[in-house]
Amino acid sequence: MVPEASLVHQYSPADAKIRLFGSLFRGRDDVYPRRFESRKTGRSGYAPACANEWVRGICEKPRIKCAECQFRQFLPITDDVIRWHLSGFDPAGEPFVAGVYPMLQDETCFLLAVDFDKEGWKEAARAFLEGCRTLGVSAALERSRSGLGGDVWLFFEEAITAVSARRLGSFILTESMDRHSSIIALAPMTASFRIRTRCLTAVSET
């Protein structure tokens, strides 16, 4: 756990909370995904935040997909992005939920998230947390936006390889989850898998 975590509480200044938040949910700092929701279809998801999105004369969505756009310009994670995320709104007053790409370009990471869903997810998550406590591993449980699942987060003081992080998660699962089948994924993914978008906070969707 980050050393300053114990010094930050609900009455701490906003800047201290933002620093703590950023020190825990660490991923790529050159790009972050932002949650979207289609007003026409209701479909939601995450896409890399782009400085040129919907800019007249540059952005040609939906005719040209973002992944194929030559003018794509990713936006980095900043304290303001975290502030907007925690408040739930951007400067324009639009709903704002940010995510994090946990695997860095050298295939290391600062966090691991274990997803739980399906019937019995609460019991499975508790069993996993108990396994963490038994092994002396600090962990935090977050409920999903839908309320129908949850994530257990493990935070590392130093970057470790994504492979090592997944091995740690798999070891804890093996030790504590013999009777449960509600684990659906471990993130970050290793190089042979798609990097999965992770949400930043307990009030966001996972």
- pLDDT, tens digit, for every residue of 57-79? 999 988 999 889 999 999 999 99
pLDDT of residue 7: 83
Does residue 78 share a domain with residue 58?
yes
pLDDT of 5 above 60: no
Per residue in 35-60, pLDDT (tens digit) is 998 888 888 889 999 999 999 999 99
Does any domain span residue 204?
no
Which of 4-8, 10-14, 90-94 shows the highest mean pLDDT? 90-94
Pick 148 or 179 by higher pLDDT: 148
Does residue 90 share a domain with residue 137?
no
Does any domain span residue 206?
no
Average pLDDT over residues 128-133: 91
pLDDT of 9 above 50: yes
Does residue 119 share a domain with residue 76?
no
> C-alpha angle 145/203/156, rounded to 5°?
105
> What is the overall mean pLDDT for the chain?
83
Last residue within a domain, chosen from 100, 117, 141: 100
Does residue 64 share a domain with residue 28?
yes
pLDDT of 190 above 60: no
pLDDT of 88 above 60: yes
Structural domain boundaries, residue 48? 3-100
Does any domain span residue 205?
no
Does residue 117 share a domain with residue 78?
no
Does residue 183 share a domain with residue 149?
yes
pLDDT of 170 above 90: no
The pTM for the full model equals: 0.80
pLDDT of residue 157: 92
What percentage of the chain carries pLDDT values higher than 70?
A: 83
Does residue 120 share a domain with residue 89?
no
pLDDT of residue 197: 41
